[in-house]
Amino acid sequence: MRKLTILLLLIPMLVATGHLLADSQGDDHERAYQAHQEDRILSLEEILGKLNLGPDTRLLEVEHEQEHGRYIYELEYLTNDGDIYELEVDAVTGRVLKQERE
């Protein structure tokens, strides 16, 4: 009976934690959109144009973050050769800050 009581008390906490995690991770696009509307960052389209990754490159994941007061796009992409790369790009200037092969 005690285990059931503990389980019943834990379920609402787990559900609330899941919602908090989803909210904190799910609003990248909203923050990026708002920052672009306020002319604080370049759009993703502008960033991709500056990078010129090539027509056969497949974008796998994009994140928008703020690190140490700097707006960053993190891009993960697949090349025509099957290699996966991760880029950190300054969202204000479009300058590549870091590139690594996965």
* Ranges of each domain in the chain: 2-101
pTM: 0.68
Which positions ≥6 away from 46 have C-beta within 8 Å? 94
Contacts of 97-102 with CB under 8 Å at 24 or more apart are 97/72, 102/76
Q: What is the pLDDT of residue 7?
A: 37
Report the distance separating Cα 30 and Cα 26, nearest Å. 8
Q: What's the CATH code, domain 2-101?
A: 3.10.450.40
Q: What is the pLDDT of residue 30?
A: 79
Considering the chain, what is the average pLDDT of its residues? Answer: 78
Residue 89 phi/psi, 5° resolution? Answer: -125, 135
pLDDT digits 0-9 by tens, 67-89: 888 999 999 999 988 999 999 99
